[in-house]
A and B are shown apart, each in its own frame.
Chain A
Amino acid sequence: MSRAFISAQRLTRRFPQAPGASELTVFEDVCFSVAEGEFACLVGHSGCGKSTILNILAGLDQPTAGHIIAGGKHVEGPSLERAVIFQGHALMPWLSALGNVELAVSSRYPGWTRRHVREHAMKFLALVHLDDAAMKKPAQLSGGMKQRVGIARALAIRPRMLLMDEPFSALDALTRGALQDEIVAIRQATKPTVFMITHDIDEALLLADKILLMTNGPKAWIAEVIENTLPADRTRIELHKHPNYYPLRNHLLDFLVTRSRELAAHPELRSKDLHPAVVRPAVASTTDHTAGALASERSGHACNGQIASGHICAV
């Protein structure tokens, strides 16, 4: 595995409560890392602080304790290196689709001529198949098209990291599928490092190289890192036909349905070094690992010790 590109160290966020009450600790000592070019999905229940982690990574929020290093630098504020695709598309309604992308491009490249900016913006609108709707205002676009503009705006500044906060959660299943395919294609073309929040397991399995599983809040933490054992050329259609699909899916479901709650209730189960266990759910015969259904190891550069207990059953 290559060196960590994004690395979170003991990230903690507390929110002040009503006067008199103690502070609310949303998550505590969260550690994780993402390698360069890797696609990481953060999965967890509502209220565990997923969006807060993404906002801290984007530089829009500050952790109460701990820090994040991204691209070799401490995250201290927002940066053009880290483009954000917002959940609610966040397009400026007074600008056309093209105008929205142009605003981003001219912010990224202040020296460019108007024409150069426009050509660049059009190129990225074409990438998400929106060149025909370039002059339309967001109000005239469908939900999926708006989110495409959001993607074009994020990609047009050529970020080193792409941060996505449940980008497709407001879309219907068909549109979501089409946009997921789009993301797969864009990823193959541009290979950015991606950090994405979702609570759609299939979306995570299709897109992510690794899936970070978060326990329930408050005082949530990232308990496990699931390595995606599906082939790299997986498609939405073929996804569920792979033998590793169900072990992966069952593991994720099991975590979301029961273990995320159990772990939240028993923080003493957390590993002492605070780093999440790496799990690689797969059918026994398809892995070259021995001893049972799955292999486990410790994640990341800064981690050591402790093997995750084998609590996952293969099909």
Chain B
Amino acid sequence: MHAPLALRAAIISLLLFVGLIGVWHLATLQTGPTIKMDPEYAKLMGSMATQGKSAMPGPGEVGAKLWQHLKDPFYDRGTNDKGIGVQLVYSIARVLTGYLLAIAVALPLGFLIGMSPLMARALDPFIQVLKPISPLAWMPLALYSIKDSSISAIFVICICSVWPMLLNTAFGVATVRREWLNVAKTLEMSPVRTGLRVILPAAAPTILTGMRISIGIAWLVIVAAEMLVGGTGIGYFVWNEWNNLSITNVIVAILCIGLVGMLLDQLMARLQRVVAYAD
């Protein structure tokens, strides 16, 4: 008799988690050499020098810090002291704004490219050149021309998430089965009706795949972008805590970035299931 696959997988996941935490705990437990020093000086040097304690926080410290952040995620005590929830909301808002802009550009353009071999060829060189550009390379140009760091970050998100959506939409639209289009033709459907009732649902799974890749990239890029533009957001939070030498907070932020990224991905996965069809 075997337990269900999901249960067995969950048990292994849990064991791995406990194991990793254990290794982490042991690794940060070890004490280094201590130096005798003047007590006043020792206060400045911190526990690492005086007690030989590891500079890397252990799981206990991170857990406590995480709990502290989660207990009050939305406080705002000025520029450099905002709750982690506030920072995440800033980041998510930027990502979604840039992402929606990208959808507004990529879907119509993707339809055009997918339906017109002429436009596909004409636009191909531009896409091929623009696609491999690291989104952060746009940042100086964006800052110079837009003159607003927050909008520049949104622009960078937009330009990095546009390509997977654009290419997948074009591919999905171009590979809609000829027989479905023939059905639409024999039913004398207008081009708009054909687009909405036949091509869009037929290409939707492919388009959603592109959108799922895009949201992942956007979430990757926002952290880097916010480190550059500063002010607000989870990326800025990470950099700020690095400057504060609070490794604990950096680890907490990394965990939060991972969790939010996972949630965004799962959201898209759910949407993907809605539009999927068995053929």
Q: Using CB atoms and an 8 Å cutoff, list the residues of chain A in contact with chain B.
A: 58-60, 77-80, 82-84, 86, 88, 90, 92-95, 103-104, 107-108, 137, 139, 157
Contact = CB atoms under 8 A, between A and B. Distances in A.
Given A80-B186, A84-B182, A90-B183, 6 more contacts: A78-B182, A88-B179, A93-B277, A94-B202, A107-B189, A139-B279
A119 B23 CA distance: 67
A107 B196 CA distance: 13
A139 B276 CA distance: 12
A250 B180 CA distance: 39
Majority SS of interface residues in chain B? Answer: helix
A137 B278 CA distance: 8
20 contacts: A58-B186, A60-B182, A60-B185, A60-B186, A78-B185, A78-B186, A78-B188, A84-B186, A86-B182, A93-B277, A94-B202, A94-B277, A95-B201, A104-B187, A107-B187, A107-B189, A137-B277, A139-B277, A139-B278, A157-B187
Nearest to B194: A107
Interface in B228-244: none
Contact of B182 (A82, A90, A139): A90
B179 A86 contact: yes
B187 A82 contact: no
Given A90-B180, A103-B197, A83 B186 contact: yes
A79 B202 CA distance: 23
B186 A59 contact: yes
Contacts of A139: 277-279
Q: Which 4 A-B pairs have the closest CB atoms?
A: A139-B278, A94-B277, A107-B187, A90-B179
Contact of B279 (A78, A86, A93, A107): A93
Contacts of B182: 58, 60, 78, 84, 86, 90
A92 B204 CA distance: 13
A101 to B, nearest CB: 11
Contacts of B279: 93, 139
Interface in B136-191: 177, 179-180, 182-183, 185-189
A92 B185 contact: no
Interface centre among B187, B193, B277 (most CB of A within 10 A): B187
B48 interface: no
A151 to B, nearest CB: 14
A79 B278 contact: no
B198 interface: yes
Interface centre among B188, B197, B202 (most CB of A within 10 A): B188
Contacts of A78: 182, 185-188
B276 to A, nearest CB: 9
A280 B98 CA distance: 73
Contacts of B186: 58-60, 78-80, 82-84
A157 B177 CA distance: 22
A95 B201 CA distance: 9
Contacts of A103: 187, 197
Interface string B242-279: 00000000000000000000000000000000010111
Nearest to B200: A94
B65 to A, nearest CB: 48
Given A137-B277, A139-B278, A139-B279, A92 B202 contact: yes
A284 B183 CA distance: 46
Contacts of B193: 107
Nearest to B189: A107
Contacts of A107: 187-189, 193
A80 B179 CA distance: 16
A99 B257 CA distance: 42
Contact of B188 (A80, A86, A92): A80
Contacts of B202: 92, 94
A278 B155 CA distance: 73
Given A92-B202, A93-B277, A139-B279, A59 B187 contact: no
Contacts of A79: 186, 188
Interface string B26-57: 00000000000000000000000000000000
Contacts of A137: 277-278
Interface string B200-211: 011010000000
A157 B189 CA distance: 13
Nearest to B278: A139
A63 B183 CA distance: 20
